[in-house]
Amino acid sequence: MTDQEQRLRIAVQKKGQLADKSLQLFEQAGLKITRGANDLLYRAENFPADFLRVRDDDIPQFVASGACALGIVGENVLEEDLPQLQAAAVEVARPLGFGQCTLKIAVPNEMAYNNAQDLSGMSIATSYPVLLKKYLDDKNVAASVVEMSGAVEVAPRLNVADVICDLVSTGQTLAANGLRAVDTVMNSEAVLIRHTGEKTLYPEDLIARLLRRIDGVLATRETKYIMMNAPEAALDEIIEILPGAGSPTVTPLAGEPGQVAIHAVCQESVFWETLERLKAAGSSAILVLPIEKMML
């Protein structure tokens, strides 16, 4: 196999909501990515991977066809595109915990709305006809779908459609257009997708290595290292309070009989409430530290 074939090609959004965070994920996984002269393809210097920078709508196709081994795209785009792809050739490898947004039905402020049945006979503008039709079918509602590639929120005002189905994050765009969200079609986040076609175009070990590093990055996002001193007698209660901790390390404190130091890796967020409960259980000198790298 030539050197060329040994490099992983990964599709990421060129510009937009997912662009920066996608590259950052791989950088946190240790890849040094040169934002070079070649605008279409960025190269990782210290890992055999190249990043194909494209419109997000094209990413599922690039991965399904095997042109790219991996890609990062919103679940909304993936699900919308799946029927047109060889669905068997692409799968979600990891949810990534960023790019959260919701595909919603929004109606003009003055329109009454109780449930999906109220959409019956209406026209609905959207960039996500597949997802919308599935939603309408599930609810057994007959409505007409008006496909638009952008600026969906102006459709009701221009009498292009009665209501819309669009991505919402803060709701500001809706409000500015006299609309309000009334129902959720889909909750979405960015996902890492991988090619699963029959012929393995890429060395599995390379993909496995990268996935392992990404798992490490995802795991450290929420994970904290927590340390405290406490009376040995309170140990059971404290372990109970620690969120998602495995077996903590417990060591005696020199010169303080009955007192121990407790060190634990917590897999879930550590909130102020958790610290207050630990304190109430007798802990003192509680420290919460971020974890930089982790391999499970």
Q: Binding residues for ligand ATP, per CB under 6 A?
A: 13, 16-18, 55-57, 74, 76-77, 99-101, 167, 169, 188
Residue 31 Cβ, how far from Zn ion at the closest point, in Å?
Answer: 25
C-beta closer to ligand ATP: residue 96 or 238: 96
Q: Of ligand ATP, Zn ion, none, which one does residue 179 interact with (CB within 5 to 8 Å by kind)?
A: none
d(C-alpha 268, C-alpha 220), whole Å: 10
C-beta closer to Zn ion: residue 16 or 121: 16
Q: Of ligand ATP, Zn ion, none, which one does residue 260 interact with (CB within 5 to 8 Å by kind)?
A: none
d(C-alpha 71, C-alpha 68), whole Å: 7
Residue 150 Cβ, how far from ligand ATP at the closest point, in Å?
Answer: 7
Residue 17 Cβ, how far from ligand ATP at the closest point, in Å?
Answer: 3
C-beta closer to ligand ATP: residue 102 or 259: 102
Residue whose structure tokens are 């903590």: 248
Residue 147 Cβ, how far from ligand ATP at the closest point, in Å?
Answer: 14
CA distances from 258 to 247, 252, 283 (A): 20, 8, 13
d(C-alpha 112, C-alpha 244), whole Å: 45
Q: Of ligand ATP, Zn ion, none, which one does residue 99 interact with (CB within 5 to 8 Å by kind)?
A: ligand ATP
Chain Cα centroid distance, residue 212: 17
Burial classification of residue 149, based on how many CB atoms lie within 10 Å of its CB (0-12 exposed, 13-18 middle, 19 or more buried): exposed
Q: Of ligand ATP, Zn ion, none, which one does residue 232 interact with (CB within 5 to 8 Å by kind)?
A: none
Beta pairing class for 259-266 and 190-195: unpaired
